[in-house]
Chains A and B, each alone.
Chain A
Amino acid sequence: MAKKKINIENSVRRLRFDNDEMTQQELADLVGISRQTVVAIEKYKYTPSLELAFKIALAFNKEIQDVFYISP
């Protein structure tokens, strides 16, 4: 398989607003990370580990592929 850079994007920001306009701090407290990390994830500046990605998906009651996906 040829090496190809993949862009992982997410719908964390949209899901926060869909969940009673949850704040970044509330999400950070739920999954045990800092607010700055939530900001970095939302801006696609940081791709979380698989464990953290699962925690974030669980916080929204979603499957991981509904939160994180590869940009076409």
Chain B
Amino acid sequence: MNMNIKLRNTLGEIISAAIAIIWVYSKLNAAANMSIVLISQVLVKGIGISILASIFFAIVMSIFSSIITGSYEKDIVDERDTMIELYAMRLSGVIFGISIVIILALLGWFNLNINFGIIAITLAGFFASIASNFLKIYFYK
């Protein structure tokens, strides 16, 4: 499969967001008994894992690509990338906004713990990020 640097980086972001989702989701059941300090730590660690994994995948994929192709591909950002980025951000914003409303409604409806809601909103952010990255892949293909 012929993959350019944009597709590789987008794929890396999807994988890193998926890793962060798995990690944060594993803390979801324990959330009800956590203090606000522990919840904050989970959120910061989850976001940190996502950022670090994203950097790690970008470096690893860049190294592998250079080894396979024998040349270094520069990541040039032009007006088309900016336009695609804007579409992706719009989709991400819509998904995140709808998710927050649904989560808040579910919290009230089922009388759930607020910690559960905070973690669910963070997960919704990661899902929105994945959806926007899939939209980017659709445009780049």
Contact = CB atoms under 8 A, between A and B. Distances in A.
Interface residues of A, number: 12
Interface in A24-65: 28, 32-37, 40, 46, 48-49, 52
B interface, over-half SS: helix
Residue of B4, B80, B81 with highest tally of chain A CB at under 10 A = B80
B140 to A, nearest CB: 7
A32 B79 CA distance: 10
B6 A34 contact: yes
Contacts of A40: 80
A28 B80 contact: no
Contact of B4 (A36, A46, A49, A52): A36
Contacts of B4: 35-36
B121 to A, nearest CB: 35
A36 B81 CA distance: 10
B67 interface: no
Contacts of A36: 4, 6, 80, 140
Contact of A33 (B6, B80, B140): B80
The 9 lowest CB-CB distance pairs between A and B, nearest first, are A33-B78, A34-B76, A37-B80, A37-B78, A46-B80, A36-B4, A49-B79, A34-B78, A52-B79
